[in-house]
Amino acid sequence: MRRLPGRRAWRRTFASACALGLLVAGGAAVAPGAVAAGPAAGRATEPGPYSPPAEPTDEPAPTSPPPTVEPPVETSGPAAPPTTPTPGTTTGGPVPSSGPPAVTVAPSRPTYSPPSRPPAATLAPPATAGVKVSTGDVTLPAGYWNSASTVVILNVTVANTGTASAGVRLSYTLPAGLTDAGTSGCAAAGNRDYRCGQWTTAPGAQFSTRLRIRVDGDAWRNVPLAGSVRVTATGSAGTASDDEGFAVLFPPGPPVPGITMSAGEVSFDAEGAGTEFLVRLGNTGRADAEGRVDVLLPAGVTVATPPAGCVAVAATRTRCELGTVRPGRTEEVRLPVTATAQALRSAPLSGAVIGRLDPRHGADRRMQLSFRITATAPDLPAAVSPPAPVTSPDLRPAGRHPARAGGRTALGGAADRRVGAAGARRRAGGGMVAAAARQHAADRRRGDRGG
């Protein structure tokens, strides 16, 4: 009778369980720590979880088959050595302290960069004081000839051109026939001078003020007239000042029938070079009249060379005779004028022209007018001349001699050739002496060996 296959399977399972129990018992007796290591090794080699064998019973239950895995791929060469774990990777067991230190990958060599040079310490420029003033002119309207006095406005602009805050004070000087008409914050200081209060200004600030000026009805008799304005800035950076003149300009008059007159403006460049001044005198009457003009100039402005018919009657006055001026005709005269440096600094200035027509019968006709004199302020950068090159005797070019800077002369060339020949002879003589000394030493050595 055939045995049932279930009993054979049970017997094999029972035998395996007994053998495994004996092995476990024996290992525990020899090395107690091995029992704990066994499951860890089993887990490391078995792909699936480990299940301890069940104790045998009378009727063991059937077990499921173990899961299948792909067989390992066979390789012809030896297995590759284990790689050293990179830093930061944990392994299954602790690293023994008695072993060599773990090998770490050397960090990449840093790229060397030279230390950057610290920026040079910049010193703040010192604070500076600066101020600038500019003015208009006192220009009288045509109604001036019908009034006992006229009040006009003089505009003044002040700018703090420094780099620090400063207190700015203003003062002005008026010519004869002009007085202050009650400008707020200003008072007379004597000698036709007036002073005003102080403004506190920030760097770069600019402001304007208006001065009220009264012009007397007879002031025209004292032409030419001009005044000046001065400002002073005081602060922690020091004191600075500036001034500018202004002209007093009267309209043509007093109005007289039968005569007209006009004049141009005089404008100088920064050098005060000569310019031309044009005056015209017209006869609007019914009869012929002899014409004459007088040109009055301020100090420092003169007529360089009076043209024909003109003559200097004073340092600042030139008279020109125009001859007969027929009715309805206009005569003109051109005068070359120049200015001194002081006059240019005082500009703008004013001059005056007095015209006269004297008919053969009746009273003469006379009128005058004012004209403006200006100058272009020099605004050129200071020219700095470079230092002249200095040649040191120790730094002259090679092969050159100061006495032969222009080239080698025949005498110099012969001298150089003589020096070269003498040097060659010295070198040849030195070589002969050295050869004789070597020969003498060789003879002595041979004599010593023969003895």
Average per-residue pLDDT in the chain?
Answer: 74
Q: Is the pLDDT of residue 117 over 80?
A: no
> Residue 165 in contact with residue 274, Cβ under 8 Å?
no
Whether 409 and 416 have beta carbons less than 8 Å apart is answered as no
Q: What is the pLDDT of residue 368?
A: 94
Mean pLDDT of 240-260: 93
- Taking only the tens place, the pLDDT of each residue in 77-107 is 445 545 444 444 444 444 545 555 555 556 6
CATH code of 252-378, in short, is 2.60.40.1510
| pLDDT tens digits, 41-58 | 444 444 444 455 545 444
The token duo for 436 is 């004789």
pLDDT band at residue 9 using 50, 70 and 90 as cut-offs: low
What are the residue boundaries of the structural domains of the chain, listed by start? 5-45, 127-251, 252-378
Q: Is pLDDT of 438 > 70?
A: no
Residue 73 has pLDDT above 60, yes or no: no
CATH code, 127-251: 2.60.40.1510
State the pLDDT at residue 432. Answer: 54
Q: pLDDT band for 347, please (50, 70, 90 cuts).
A: confident
Residue 129's nearest CA partner among 174, 104, 107, 159 is: 159
Amino acid 269: pLDDT: 85
Among 97-106, 405-414, 440-449, which is the least confidently predicted range?
Answer: 405-414
Buried b (16+ CB within 10 A) or exposed e, 345-369: ebbbbbbbbbbbbebeeeeebebbb
Q: How far apart are the first and last CA of the chain?
A: 130
Give the C-alpha separation, 148 to 91, whole Å: 117
Which pair of structure tokens corresponds to residue 371?
Answer: 């004209």
Over residues 325-350, the mean pLDDT reads 92
Note the pLDDT tens digit of each residue in 291-306.
Answer: 999 999 999 999 989 9
70-74, 138-142, 242-246, 372-376: segment of lowest average pLDDT: 70-74
Lowest mean pLDDT among 133-137, 205-209, 401-405: 401-405
The whole-number average pLDDT for the span 167-181 is 96
Which of 12-26, 232-246, 272-286, 367-381 comes out lowest in average pLDDT? 12-26
**What's residue 127's pLDDT?**
86
Structural contact between residues 142 and 195, judged by C-beta atoms closer than 8 angstroms: no
* Residue 120: Cβ within 10 Å count: 6
Interhelix angle 5-30/32-45, rounded to 10 degrees, is 130
Order of strands across the sheet that contains 131-135? 131-135, 149-160, 206-216, 178-180
pLDDT tens digits for 20-32? 666 655 554 444 4
What is d(CA 377, CA 373) in angstroms, rounded to the nearest whole number?
Answer: 13
- Concatenated DSSP letters for 325-343? E-TT-EEEEEEEEEE-HHH
Q: Per-residue confidence at 271, pLDDT binned at 50, 70, 90? A: confident
Percent of the chain with pLDDT over 90: 48
CA distance 135 to 149: 22
Q: Could you tell me if 50 and 42 are in contact, meaning their C-beta atoms sit under 8 angstroms apart?
A: yes
Out of 127-131, 404-408, 421-425, give the one with best mean pLDDT. 127-131
Q: How far is CA 12 from the centre of its chain?
A: 103
